[in-house]
A = this chain, B = another copy of it.
Amino acid sequence: MDTVLRSPQQTVLIGPNRPFVVIGERINPTGRKALAAEMAAGDFSRVIADALAQVQAGAHVLDVNSGVPLTDEAEIMAEAIRLVQATVDVPVCIDSSVVAALAAGLKAATGKPLVNSVTGEEERLEAVLPLVAERGAAVIAISNDETGISYDPRERFRIAKKIVERAESYGIPRQDVLIDPLAMPVGAVQGAGNHLFQIVRMVREELGCNTICGASNISFGLPNRKTLNATFVAMAIAAGLPCAITNPLEPEIMAAIRAADVMMGYDDNCAAWIMSQRQAAASGAAPTGAGDERTSRRAAREARRGQ
């Protein structure tokens, strides 16, 4: 069962037996001081540059987070969404912990956006789901609730199930709910990767829902996070994960995703793989994907200059 997202002219399908969908994570002021200051001051040039660079690097959807403290997040979200969708023709993922910002983003977005996110907490369910239903959007359901994040995969599955059922009671079909099973750091929770793979399989088989996750948290605190993240995403794809919020400017991640699509048979005649390798070779880089990074960085620089 596919989750359908739309931009003004593009349709993105997220589902079993389809090429993996990359949701670019870069437009997020959390931990990016310069970006946060610019967004607070109404300067969205870096947002536009990040949008261009991520789509050029292979992102199919862009996450837009408006989390700048002590600002009107709703206003920032609306402006960022408008500018992103005026720059690149991809669906957006409206990312905020502030309900008013989600509402403003939903109003500003064109096509069918994704809302990031709702949890199993009563207050969030009641605040977010009506907005999603009214707009006919899709929503990310994070499998924690008032009691916290359980280490037990079955408990996280139970919360996912609760959110799906509640969403249906608001008229949101289950294919519009993407379950985020929550990737815990493997450095803190031994076997956290395997727990996530299990939940991904259970959600598909028992709930018939698609899953999503952030692909960076898993490696928190460990050395060589790039290789850990890339390996994690490939293994999650083997378990049935159809999309992730990640950094498309990271060539190791993108190479692993494209290679995993080849392994699963999602890349017809390996055409996308061969093209990505040709582009890397043409940019004069090593064939491991370093070329993608160079291309993306150049694109980002050019975009920042306003090209």
Proximity bits, A272-283, B CB within 8 Å = 1, else 0: 011001101100
Q: Are A222 and B288 in contact (CB under 8 A)?
A: no
How distant is A250 from chain B, measured CB to nearest CB, in Å? 12
Interface-lining segment among A7-15, A66-74, A261-269, A296-304: A261-269
Q: How distant is the Cα of A237 from the Cα of B262 in the complex, in angstroms? A: 17
Partner of A288, one of B197, B227, B260, B269: B227
How distant is A228 from chain B, measured CB to nearest CB, in Å? 5
The interface centre, meaning the residue of A223, A231, A269 with most chain B CB atoms within 10 A of its CB, is A231
Q: Are B235 and A274 in contact (CB under 8 A)?
A: no
Q: Does A307 sit within 8 A of B, measured CB to CB?
A: no
Interface-lining segment among A39-47, A115-123, A173-181, A187-195: A187-195
Chain B residues lying within 8 Å of A224, measured Cβ to Cβ, are 255, 273, 277, 280, 287-289
Chain B residues lying within 8 Å of A223, measured Cβ to Cβ, are 273-274, 277-278, 281, 287
Chain B residues lying within 8 Å of A288, measured Cβ to Cβ, are 224, 226-227, 252
Chain B residues lying within 8 Å of A192, measured Cβ to Cβ, are 263, 265
Proximity bits, A155-197, B CB within 8 Å = 1, else 0: 0000000000000000000000000000000110011111001
Partner of A263, one of B193, B237, B260, B277: B193
Chain B residues lying within 8 Å of A133, measured Cβ to Cβ, are none
Q: Are A186 and B222 in contact (CB under 8 A)?
A: no
Partner of A260, one of B226, B235, B273: B235
19 additional A-B residue pairs with CB within 8 Å, beyond A192-B263, A232-B263, A236-B238: A186-B262, A190-B265, A191-B265, A192-B265, A193-B263, A193-B265, A194-B263, A194-B264, A218-B263, A223-B287, A224-B287, A226-B288, A231-B255, A231-B260, A235-B237, A235-B238, A235-B260, A235-B263, A238-B238
